Amino acid sequence: MSLIKMNIAVIGTGYVGLSTGVCLAEIGHQVNGIDVDEAKINELLQGSSPIYEPELEPLLQKNMKKGNLFFTTSLEIGLKDAEIIILAVGTPQHEDGSVDLSYLFGAAKDLAPHLKNKSIVVIKSTVPVGTNHQVKKLIEDHLPHPIAFDMISNPEFLRQGSAISDTLHPDRIIIGSLESSAASKVEAMYQPLHASIIHTSIESAEMIKYASNAFLATKISFINQIANLCESVGADVEDVAMGMGMDKRIGATFLQAGIGYGGSCFPKDTKALLHMAKQNGHHFSQLNETIAINDTQPLLLVKKAVNRFTDLKGKKIALLGLSFKPETDDMREAPSIKIAQKLLELGTVVTAYDPIAIDRAKQVLGNSIHYANSVWEALKDADALFLLTEWGEFKRIDVTRVTGLMKQPIIFDGRNCFDTDKIEACEKIEYYPVGKKAILKEGFY
């Protein structure tokens, strides 16, 4: 089957909207990216990506040059010929865990006057069950005159840090619909990806996204609890995870113990599902625990340092890694924030280095901490190193040089990032990983 070229508009050009728009252009569609953020659109029109995501910028430039990718702040211009309109605006959380749908509802109201007969509105943003129906009603209420249009729920599963690759090679595409011809058209839009497509009701599609994220978050909290227990009983969580992961029913991914999950999705989506459950009279106690474990997990690393030093006041701590995971500049809910704040509360002097996320980190942590331009600058004369994000640069680090630069070569590895053979080869080192025995070399002090 050859590609049927479609006119597509993507509303919201953040991590999801931009990756989606660029990839849909790459597979041959005509795409308009629309955003209310003028600065973002201006940057995009220059061919520059406002976010760091591997492979994104070259594909953006290539498709803009080809003329099949355009950006605008104007819904009138962006929706002019749109057959399919994808909503990818943010859905952050309220204090009580419920989802803030104001951006989505705002976009729905604003797009209504520009909607063409027989067009399809696709919700890609993560939204609670029932939202697609609410958005349909909202659009209908704001149409200048009645027209026929369809709603599709098409949740997104890309991972930041590999957004382009995930969008071009998805594990599956979920299409939730009420109407089969609209679902077929959205399936045809994705046809060049040759992905497995699953058709469901709108409600099931909305739920699949939350259930998937809650399950993955639970897997992380579970292995972190096992890690904490491993430390008490002398087992090695990496061996345990490998032994578990080779069981096909369990699978090896999301079994890396560490300082917990962060980012813009797991924290808010788990809380939103919990809220949804509560509203419907269900006590989702397991999810409650997943969240509670994750809330305390980053602080366990600080606790280890307190145990080691007794008093952290005045100690110089180097943080390596600030973003919530490698290959992204996203600082949303990064465990590094909680750790930095706790260290400051305990009177330490914090210097941090991250290959990409420093500018965004400054927006969150301001000048409460120092920022270094390199690993080596951060480590100079440090009393301890906290490894918080497993960037490739840190995995390849020369540990001997690290220990030579630090005042005291004491490492708290929150991601089990360092190679233990290299640690063992050091003459003087104290190394505290997660869920594994500490390595304390004789002759230290």
> What single-letter amino acid sits at 199?
H
Burial class (CB within 10 angstroms; exposed 0-12, middle 13-18, buried 19+) of 250:
middle
Which residue of the set 23, 230, 265, 417 is catalytic? 265
Site for ligand NAD contains 113 (CB under 6 A): no
CB under 8 Å to 75, separation ≥6 — which residues? 11, 34, 110, 111, 114
> What single-letter amino acid sits at 280?
N
Of 10 and 237, which has the nearer Cβ to ligand NAD?
Answer: 10
CA distance 119 to 123: 13
Do residues 196 and 169 touch, judged by C-beta distance below 8 A? no
Site for ligand NAD contains 14 (CB under 6 A): yes
The phi and psi torsions of 92 (rounded to 5 degrees) equal -70, 180
Among 158, 216, 230, 434, binds ligand NAD (CB under 6 A): 158
Site for ligand NAD contains 24 (CB under 6 A): no
**Total of chain residues touching ligand NAD, rule CB under 6 A:** 26
Query: Cβ atoms within 10 A of the Cβ of 212, count?
Result: 16
Site for ligand NAD contains 88 (CB under 6 A): yes
The length of the chain in residues reads 445
Site for ligand NAD in 205-264 (CB under 6 A): 264
The first and second tokens of residue 340, run together, are 């930095």
Of 10 and 340, which has the nearer Cβ to ligand NAD?
Answer: 10
Of 11 and 378, which has the nearer Cβ to ligand NAD?
Answer: 11
Q: What is the spatial order of strands in the sheet that 316-320 belongs to?
A: 370-371, 349-353, 316-320, 384-387, 410-413, 430-432, 439-440
CB of 445 to ligand NAD, least distance (A): 45
Do residues 399 and 422 touch, judged by C-beta distance below 8 A? yes
End-to-end CA gap in the chain: 71
Site for ligand NAD contains 13 (CB under 6 A): yes
Give the contact letters, 29-58, x = binds to ligand NAD (CB under 6 A), - = no.
Answer: -----xxxx--x------------------
Among 8, 16, 378, 387, binds ligand NAD (CB under 6 A): 16
Of 12 and 414, which has the nearer Cβ to ligand NAD?
Answer: 12
Q: Which stretch in 57-65, 155-163, 335-343, 414-422 sits in contact with ligand NAD by CB under 6 A? A: 155-163
- Closest residue by beta carbon to ligand NAD: 14
What residue ranges in 137-205 does DSSP mark as E strands?
A: 149-153, 173-177, 197-200
Q: Which residues of 289-305 are buried (b: 16+ CB within 10 A; e: fewer)?
A: ebbebbeebbbbbbebb
Q: Which stretch in 152-160, 188-196, 301-309, 372-380 sits in contact with ligand NAD by CB under 6 A? A: 152-160
Site for ligand NAD contains 106 (CB under 6 A): yes
Catalytic annotation on 265?
yes
Site for ligand NAD contains 192 (CB under 6 A): no
Of 93 and 177, which has the nearer Cβ to ligand NAD?
Answer: 93
- Residues assigned a catalytic role: 265
Interface residue list for ligand NAD (CB under 6 A)? 11-17, 34-37, 40, 88-91, 103, 106-107, 125-126, 156, 158, 160, 264-265
